[in-house]
Amino acid sequence: MSLMRFPEQYGGTNCLQPVDCDLIKGLMEEIGGANLIHFVDHEYVLHAWAVFDSLDIQELTFENIWHVFTAMLPLM
């Protein structure tokens, strides 16, 4: 993160453009708000969490993700 904030400390050049964050928030709300970054609707998220919770998985890791997916798939 500090590379992006202080690129000159790493031999780089700051090429970031200043942005009016309030303007960006307003534009995002006009065209759909937070739903723009969701891949599924709220009901699907609730169902997926319920299925996940029903499996009593102690920890989600890169090592067990495929097993979790295959356990959840028939319940979805």
12-32 residue pLDDT tens: 988 888 999 999 889 988 988
Amino acid at 30: E
Decide: pTM greater than 0.95. Answer: no
Nearest-angstrom CA–CA distance, 3 and 36 = 29
CB 39 within 8 A of CB 55: no
32-74 residue pLDDT tens: 887 778 888 889 999 999 999 999 899 999 999 999 999 999 9
